[in-house]
Amino acid sequence: MSTTTVPPRTSRVAFSGSPERAAVRLAEAGPHGQYVVYERDGVWSYAGGVRASLVLDRSRVTLDQQGEITSTRWHDDPLGTVHHLLSLLPYPDWQAYGWAAFELSYALAGDTAELGAEPLLHLVIPETEVRLSPGGAEIRCSTPAGEDAVRALLATAEPNAGTVEFTPVPVDLGEAPQGSYRASVARAVEAIRGGELQKVIVSRAVPVERELDLPATYLAGRAVNSPARSFLLDLGGIEAVGFSPETVVEVSADGRVSTQPLAGTRALVGDRAEDAARRAELLTDAKEIYEHAISVQVAWEEMTGVCRAGSVRAEEFMTVKERGSVQHIASRVSGELPDLGRGPWPALAALFPAVTASGIPKAAAFRAIRRLEPGPRGLYSGAVLTAGSDGSLDAALVLRTVFRQQGRTWLRAGAGVVEHSSPDRELEETCEKLRSVSRSLVPALAPTPAPAT
């Protein structure tokens, strides 16, 4: 029998420390070169190693089961091809973890002419999966040796299990002297007033010059953020630490779908009276309310396109969610899939990328983003996601994130530009969002010099 068909061993154990610290301990010291840590609703999942991988690029979807490779060219429905190949997995009850780049949106729209060779979607079925909650850890391992290694790490006591103490890495959040971001916002406003589109998110990257300890940055950032989801990953050549303010889409095994657009922003300064005043201002600001309302309208229309007739409804309308250094107007739109046989992928195809990270209408926003930003976004404003063989899917919007790839480390943030946007205010908004992460960047320790001989 192929090793890929051996059912994973499942066991429950206690662990030392908090769930997030135990998950980070597995990421730091575990036996796996690639991993994903994903937090949802008070449960931390650690997915380590690669039992099988699936990669989608501009023309093909490739499934690699420990050297047994199936590669299929996709045509009009890339995520339908993903669903088909995942259905070929020879073992039941799998859970996939991974990421989707923002540029997957171009493939979903049938616009591949300007896409490069980079992966647009990268998923793995892990060798080891651990789910950690205050009640204990559930371990699923494909080998007894892997389970023993995980058990040992989970039992390891932490000598310093308090708050991460560090001096944050300084980051210049201002824009370049030439004022390129303000100029891009001004150009976006002109396009909106010219009737090209209604809204576009214009983003900018901020370099981080010093080497970071990303697992420690995750712990420090999680302590001061209140995300909808959080993640720490090293997968497919990309490392990232993120505190997602919202989900792109959530799909349960019974086909219930929801999305939570956040649009409209004010800073949180830590003073209760001042934050309350800013919240009241946010909920009466015509520009912010308009920006949020049109985002909810698009989410509703996208949900209507894939959900059972009459099932779409708005929930939690115009609430305010606190997310780290900012507060946002939030709503939730939900519905029900009519056909469970296609899995959750039609819902992701309909809602990706998040309207709050792209624009309205999306096709025009894609064109504007390509014109206004200097290069591909990659993982920024894409998704970190997990999907199950039971038809469930959970996709976190990749914002409030620090990225590391090919020797470069950076932050990125954007702001929603509408007709009445001010370049100065939109720049200020990007700074407010960047502080959710920049205040928690933990420097890597310098290597200990070798003793003199």
Active site residue 428: no
What number of other Cβ atoms are within 10 A of residue 175's Cβ? 18
Phi/psi for 399 (5° steps) reads -130, 170
Write the CB contacts of 364 (distance below 8 Å, at least 6 apart in sequence): 196, 197, 200
In residues, how long is the chain? 453
State the amino acid at position 427 in one-letter form: L
- Residue 292 sits at the vertex; the CA angle it makes with 274 and 242, to the nearest 5 degrees, is 75
How far is Cα 329 from Cα 113, in angstroms, rounded to an integer?
36
The radius of gyration computed from the CA coordinates of the chain, to the nearest angstrom, equals: 22
How far is Cα 376 from Cα 391, in angstroms, rounded to an integer?
31
Tokens of 224: 């001061």
Please name the helix (run of DSSP H) or strand (run of DSSP E) that holds residue 315, with its range, or none. strand 313-323
Indicate which residue of 20, 103, 246, 250 is catalytic: 246
Query: Any long-range contacts for 422-431 (C-beta under 8 Å, 24+ apart)?
Result: 423/181, 423/182, 423/183, 423/185, 423/186, 423/189, 424/182, 426/181, 426/182, 426/185, 426/202, 427/175, 427/181, 427/182, 427/185, 429/265, 430/173, 430/181, 430/203, 430/204, 431/173, 431/174
Tokens of 48: 């380590």
Catalytic residue list: 246
